[in-house]
């Protein structure tokens, strides 16, 4: 291509782009600026508002509950990277084989949870975990493993894992499809060459498929981090962050502080902290895995 249309007037271009830019300013940029502003105040939403400088931020740095919720985000992220990407990779490799039966059906079924609202996924898993009427416990009973039965969502020690499983369950399909597309784009000649050299199925996966998918894996890991830093809906409906704050994630903590205790100033500081931490992690992971842009 390379050809470009003659530019219309500057005012025409911005005239057309204006609605998009305005709605963006109003919904993203102005609130961000506002929350930076309010984060310097002690404010519970009323008329009185005390300027307290960086006090909210120094409180945030020492706030054990905030860092605990960040730790929960990190646990969920790590488990998701292992669970979602690991399972999705294995399934993608298998689904690539021509001899697998009902490939189309599997693909459609495995992707279905992705389109469900996270709230509904939370409710469905509440039912699965339910003490007396849940699939999980009746399955364990059926397998004569009744002593494995736990109060899945009420035991502070395991609740964080219980809320992670639905997240993994919901998103495997997305990574599966991403990986399948990536595997399909690996040229067949590479495999043929390897076969002549005597590589078998498993070796082909380790020495060809995995390295050729490096870029995709990188993108997938970043997606996983970005997605889990903002996890909220399903935990909100499953446990509300409880029991205590054992399954509280950052977004839930910001929500509780702002709308439960109505500390809007501190809630703003938490929001800013959350954005900084998430963007920081995303950029860091991008650095660590090689700096090329995503657009390749």
Partner 1 sequence: MNRKIAVAGVKSAANVLIAVFSLVSIFPILWVMYSSLKNQQEFSFNILSLPKSLHFDNYVTAFWDGKLYLYLWNSAFVSAISVVLTILIGFVSGYFLSRFSFRGRNVVYTMFLFGMLVPVYGLLVPLFIEYRNLHLLDHRLFLVLPEVTFALPLVIFLIESFMKSVPIEMEEAAYVDGANTVSTLFRIVFPICRPVLSTCIIISFLNIWNEFPFALILINSQELKTIPVGLTNFVGQYTINYPQLMAGINVSILPVIIVYLCLSKRIIQGMVAGAVKG
Q: Which of residues 221-280 bind partner 1 (CB under 8 A)?
A: 223, 226, 229-230, 232-233, 236-237, 250-251, 254-255, 258-259, 264, 267-268, 270-272, 274-275, 278-279
Give the C-alpha separation, 287 to 296, whole Å: 16
| Binding test (CB under 8 A) with partner 1, winner from 19, 187, 290, 291 | 19
Question: Does residue 107 interact with partner 1 by CB under 8 A?
Answer: yes
Taking CB under 8 A as the binding criterion, the range among 20-28, 59-67, 156-164, 189-197 that sits at the site for partner 1 is 20-28
DSSP string, 165-200: HHHHHHHHHHHHHHHHHHHHTS-HHHHHHHHHTT--
- Told to check if 214 binds partner 1 by CB under 8 A, we report no
What are the phi and psi torsion angles at 189 (to 5°)?
A: -60, -35
Secondary structure of 21-32 as H, E, C letters: HHHHHHHHHHHH
Q: Tell me, residue by residue from 174 to 213, as one string, x for binding to partner 1 by CB under 8 A and - for no binding.
A: x--xx--x-------------------x------------
Contact flag: residue 47 with partner 1 (CB under 8 A): no
Q: Contacts with partner 1: how many residues (CB under 8 A)?
A: 102
User: Which of 57, 67, 68, 111 is the binder for partner 1 (CB under 8 A)?
Assistant: 111
Contact residue for partner 1 among 47, 115, 143, 196 (CB under 8 A): 115
Q: Which is nearer to partner 1, 175 or 246 (CB)?
A: 175
Contact call for residue 128 and partner 1 (CB under 8 A): yes
Burial 211-229 (b: 16+ CB within 10 A, else e): ebbeebbbbbbbbbbebbb
SS3 category, 296: coil
Contact partners, residue 225, CB within 8 Å, separation at least 6: 77, 81, 278, 281, 282, 285
SS3 42: strand
Which of 251, 276, 245 has its CA nearest to residue 61?
276
Among 61, 82, 94, 145, binds partner 1 (CB under 8 A): 94
CB nearer to partner 1: pick between 13 and 145: 13
């Amino acid at each position: 291509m390379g050809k470009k249309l003659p530019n219309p007037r500057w005012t025409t271009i911005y005239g057309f782009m204006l609605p998009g830019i305005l709605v963006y300013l109003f919904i993203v940029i102005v609130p961000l600026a506002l929350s930076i502003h309010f984060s310097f105040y002690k404010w519970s939403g009323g008329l009185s508002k005390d300027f307290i400088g960086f006090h909210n931020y120094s409180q945030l740095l020492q706030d054990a509950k905030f860092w605990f919720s960040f730790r929960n985000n990190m646990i969920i992220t790590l488990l998701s990277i292992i669970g979602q990407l690991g399972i999705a990779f294995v399934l993608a490799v298998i689904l690539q084989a021509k001899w697998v039966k009902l490939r189309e059906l599997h693909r459609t079924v495995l992707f279905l949870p992705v389109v469900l609202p996270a709230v509904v996924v939370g409710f469905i898993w509440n039912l699965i975990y339910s003490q007396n009427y849940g699939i999980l416990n009746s399955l364990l009973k059926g397998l004569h493993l009744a002593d494995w039965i736990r109060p899945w969502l009420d035991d502070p020690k395991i609740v964080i894992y219980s809320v992670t499983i639905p997240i993994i369950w919901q998103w495997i399909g997305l990574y599966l499809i991403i990986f399948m597309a990536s595997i399909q784009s690996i040229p067949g000649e590479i495999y043929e060459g390897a076969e002549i050299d005597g590589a078998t199925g498993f070796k082909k996966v380790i020495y060809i498929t995995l390295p050729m998918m490096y870029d995709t894996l990188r993108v997938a890991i970043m997606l996983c981090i970005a997605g889990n830093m903002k996890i909220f809906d399903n935990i909100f409906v499953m446990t509300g962050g409880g029991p205590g704050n054992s399954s509280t994630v950052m977004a839930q903590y910001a929500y509780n502080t702002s709308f439960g205790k109505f500390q809007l100033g501190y809630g703003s500081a938490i929001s800013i902290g959350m954005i900084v931490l998430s963007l920081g992690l995303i950029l860091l992971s991008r650095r660590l895995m090689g700096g090329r842009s995503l657009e390749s």
